[in-house]
Amino acid sequence: MNAPGFETLIYEKLGTCAEIRFNRPHRLNAVVETFYCELIDALRQAEADPDVRAVLLTGEGRAFCVGADLKEHSSGGRNESQRREYLQVANDACKTIFCLSKPVVAAINGYALGAGAEIACSCDFVLMAESARIGFPEVSIGTSVGGGVSQILPRLVGLAKARELILTGIRIDGVEAARIGLASLAVADDRLKDAAIDFVNELASKAPISMGLAKKLLNDSSDNDLDIQLQNELDGLVMCTTTEDWQEGVDAFAEKREPRFKGR
């Protein structure tokens, strides 16, 4: 069922998954400020819903997201302060994805360029149609990357490959993205939707508290030394043993059945 109130997005709950579809197909889902604000609201809605265990981002029509709506930018309607506010909300949207306690999967149909590629890189997993294209054209049009890409992309593909992608602005297809580790999976174009649903459903079947903890540990790992990370892992393990889901996991293993996690 689609949640009301969004102009640039479609928000639907598919069982334990929240699907957020970018809905500006007439502009190939190019981003505007309203889009970012609504994306943040939709992600917060998914975060607050205890029935939602995973989030899927994808695009309506022929593209995932082709980046900033240059038609709107070229109108010159923003002063310097307003431009900064727009760029800040763009960063906020990517940070919200990155920090969400629930796993977020990007299913890239068509183009994911500029801001669209930044959104994808903020997700925990990227699935791509084989013919889809992802790229960072910012230096080709006199602007700069955002959304944390300069930190996240080297983690995914290594510094040398990140330099190549960002400094040349080349576009790569789903097969190449999967080969270098930017995408987790590349599938035939007509299988993307089914593959993405299967993928998020698998994620949604895991223990929600453990999932959120694991995501945070991984996200924080490059900022901490080993002693801090070991302590954080220990604290997390101790906390997990106090949950109902931990006991359910132990019982299910002993009884040789699938666990039924409740997020408690």
72 and 91 share one domain = yes
Task: Please check whether residue 25 lies inside any domain of the structure.
Answer: yes
Any domain includes 2: no
At 135-171, the pLDDT tens digits run 999 999 999 999 999 999 999 999 999 999 999 999 9
Quote the pLDDT of residue 244.
Answer: 87
Does 145 share its domain with 39? yes
Question: Do 174 and 249 lie in a common domain?
Answer: no
Of 184, 204, 224, the one marking the end of a domain is: 204
| Rounded mean pLDDT, 184-211 | 95
The domain that holds 135 is classified in CATH as 3.90.226.10
Per-residue pLDDT, 4: 63
What is the predicted pLDDT for the residue at 200? 96
Looking at the fold, whether 60 and 173 belong to one and the same domain comes out as yes
How far is 155 from 241, CA to CA, in rounded Å?
A: 31
Domain that holds residue 152: 9-204
Distance of alpha carbon 252 from alpha carbon 249, whole angstroms: 5
Does residue 80 share a domain with residue 64?
Answer: yes
Q: Which residues belong to the active site?
A: 118, 138
Nearest to 29 by CA among 157, 167, 132, 183: 132
Query: 3-state class of 257 per DSSP?
Result: coil
73-101: average pLDDT:
83
Give the model's confidence band at 48: pLDDT under 50 very low, under 70 low, under 90 confident, else very high: very high
Q: Is residue 107 part of a domain?
A: yes
Q: Looking at the structure, do residues 152 and 172 belong to the same domain, yes or no?
A: yes
pLDDT value at 1 more than 60: no
Helix segments in 169-191, DSSP class H:
174-180
Answer whether residue 163 is part of any domain: yes
- Contact predicate 64/28, CB 8 Å: no
pLDDT at 77: 64
pLDDT band at 223 (very low <50, low <70, confident <90, very high): confident
> Would 3 be classed as within a structural domain?
no
Examine the domain organization and report whether 142 and 234 are in the same domain.
Answer: no
Same-domain pairing of 171 and 251: no
pLDDT value at 2 more than 80: no
Give residue-wise pLDDT tens across range 169-187. 999 999 999 999 999 999 9
Give 121's pLDDT tier (boundaries 50, 70, 90): very high
The CATH number that applies at residue 236 is 1.10.12
Q: How confident is the model at residue 258 (pLDDT cuts 50, 70, 90)?
A: confident
48 falls within a domain? yes
Same domain, residue pair 248 and 151: no
* 171 falls within a domain: yes
Question: Is 97:122 a contact under the CB 8 Å cutoff?
Answer: yes
Helix (H) or strand (E) holding 42: helix 33-48
Question: Residue 83's pLDDT band (boundaries 50, 70, 90)?
Answer: confident
On whether both 117 and 143 belong to a single domain, the answer is yes
Is residue 242 in some structural domain? yes
> How many domains does the chain contain in total?
2
Q: How many helices (H) and strands (E) does the chain have?
A: 11, 10
Per-chain mean pLDDT for the chain: 92
- On whether both 89 and 171 belong to a single domain, the answer is yes
| Type of residue at 221 | S
- Of 188, 204, 220, at which residue does a domain stop? 204
Position 73 scores a pLDDT of 57
